[in-house]
Amino acid sequence: MNIIIVGCGKVGCKLAEMLSHEEDINITAIDVQNSVVNDVVANFDVMGVVGSGASIDTLNEAGVKEADVLIAVTDSDELNLMTCLIAKKTGGCQTIARVRKPEYGKEIQLFKEDLGLAMIINPELAAASEMARALRFPSAIQIDTFAKGRVEILKFRVPQGSVLDNLKISELSNKLNCDVLICGIERGEVAHIPDGNFVIQSGDLVSIVAAINKGSQFFKEIGVKTNRVKDCMIVGGSSTSYYLANMLLHRGISVKIIERDEKRCEVLSTLLPKATIINGDGSDKKLLLESGLEYAESFVALTNIDEENIMLSLFARSKMNGKLVTKINRIAYDEVIGTLDLDTIIYPKNITAEYIVRFVRAMRNSLNSNIETMHFILDGKAEALEFKINESSPVSDVPLEKLSLKQNALIACINRGGKIIIPRGQDMITAGDTVIVVTHGKGYNDISDILE
């Protein structure tokens, strides 16, 4: 599969990093800056071309006529759309464009149809969707869905004094009587795909697989709140704030936005008549407290400055017991930021790249791949893949305990016609099932790839 990435900013580099791990994918990166292209070529297994993505000569040099996919993620929406149009006309490949401006929101479908785009990704809208999902289930730090919404992978931190502290995983089902499976544990900088002998400790980040209604039961058993939030305080009136507030209001959640720019407040008041818009400095502790921070069930830091978002969330944590969501744009210090008590951390650049990689993986279905859905989990150190099982699969009709799996590969869930099975040793996979596999491995395209 041949892929061209136009624009080597944060998203372009993240795409190059993720896709370069895939087998049978050849990547060419395009950027107008020679130094940027050299850095990408030096760091990842990609070819580089210096030039504009809207230039036919540049695209031809990058091999657009042999390309399967072109992904345009420059800082300019217009350039991305133009690049995709030229690539479509010149090479006939599938095209993906990043389009950020909210004013293009109503035209998105028109662009997609008339320009023949395979996908349009709006980073702010995608980030807001992830935040809204986190606020629906405040106990979880991250939520990923599979099996057409029937299965979730939920990540949470084990609190001090939890019934899970010092519990061996093999003892979990008997002690809590919950139909879930622990598929990953992050302890410090190390991500584990644990076996039954692994002992959970307080402070661990634990990822569980559960049917859509079973996750709530598990959290109740361990004494963790599961109800969605009733209200939300947002600091910062950006496009992401607008998208998030709109989603929350439609779900009956009251919203309060604090924004320092008076004109932006006027715009938000018009766009969101049911929200409370406060014109003021969101970093003013007195204003936050007067606005009801101590009683808020959730707090979202969405300013354009990472350091301010971090400090706001830490202050909110000291004053309230609700859900925190923190937006971080720069990803260079994610290891340090991950050690702070910030609940859910949203990296819009990562989300955009992951959405695109999922789409590319789905396209490979037509190229002998059986992957239905994929998500990066355990802070990007592992993948959760959903495979469709065909008649000739070597894993069919064999008890799971008799399958010889590669190290750090775990069969986490079986979906059989809508019936969700959290597998045990005696369970068997049959043709027509979809199966969720969690693995540290890269480049898996078929369920057979997990076998030794």
3-state secondary structure the chain: CEEEEECCCHHHHHHHHHHCCCCCCEEEEEECCHHHHHHHHHHCCCEEEECCCCCHHHHHHCCHHHCCEEEECCCCHHHHHHHHHHHHHHHCCEEEEECCCHHHHHHHHHHHHHCCCCEEECHHHHHHHHHHHHHHCCCCCEEEEEHHHCEEEEEEECCCCCCCCCCEHHHHHHHHCCCCEEEEEEECCEEECCCCCCECCCCCEEEEEEECCHHHHHHHHCCCCCCCCCEEEEECCCHHHHHHHHHHHHCCCEEEEEECCHHHHHHHHHHCCCCEEEECCCCCHHHHHHCCHHHCCEEEECCCCHHHHHHHHHHHHHHCCCEEEEECCCCCCHHHHCCCCCCEEECHHHHHHHHHHHHHHHHHHHHCCCEEEEEEECCCCEEEEEEECCCCCCCECCEHHHCCECCCEEEEEEEECCEEECCCCCCEECCCCEEEEEECCCCCCCHHHHEC
The Cβ of residue 353 has, within 10 Å, a number of other Cβ atoms equal to: 27
d(CA 76, CA 100): 9
Burial class (CB in 10 A: 0-12, 13-18, 19+), 386: buried
Query: Which residues of the chain carry a pLDDT beneath 70?
Result: 23, 105-106, 331-336, 338-339, 364-369
Place of tokens 């609700």: 322
CATH architecture of 231-321: 3-Layer(aba) Sandwich (3.40)
CATH of domain 371-450: 3.30.70.1450
Torsion (CA) 280, 283, 288, 289 in degrees, nearest 10: -130
Locate 180 and state its tokens: 């879930």
Phi/psi region, residue 356 (left: phi>0; alpha: psi -120 to 50; beta: rest), is alpha
344 closest CA partner among 184, 128, 100, 197: 128
What is the pLDDT, as a whole number, of residue 339?
67
Domain spanning 2-121: CATH 3.40.50.880: no
| Equal fold, 231-321 vs 371-450 | no
CATH architecture of 128-221: 2-Layer Sandwich (3.30)
pTM of the predicted model as reported, rounded to 2 decimal places? 0.81
Contacts of 23 by beta carbon, 8 Å cutoff, 6+ apart? 442, 443, 445
Contact yes or no for 184/158 (Cβ under 8 A): no
Q: Computed over its alpha carbons, how large is the radius of gyration of the chain?
A: 23
Contact yes or no for 389/396 (Cβ under 8 A): yes
d(CA 444, CA 82): 34
What is the pLDDT, as a whole number, of residue 366?
47
Write down the domain spans for the chain: 2-121, 128-221, 231-321, 371-450
The Cβ of residue 34 has, within 10 Å, a number of other Cβ atoms equal to: 11
d(CA 18, CA 10): 12
Contact yes or no for 295/320 (Cβ under 8 A): yes
Locate 383 and state its tokens: 């993948």
Q: How far is CA 433 from CA 98, 132, 438, in A?
A: 34, 30, 16
Burial class (CB in 10 A: 0-12, 13-18, 19+), 300: buried
316 closest CA partner among 331, 332, 334, 295: 295
What is the pLDDT, as a whole number, of residue 338?
65
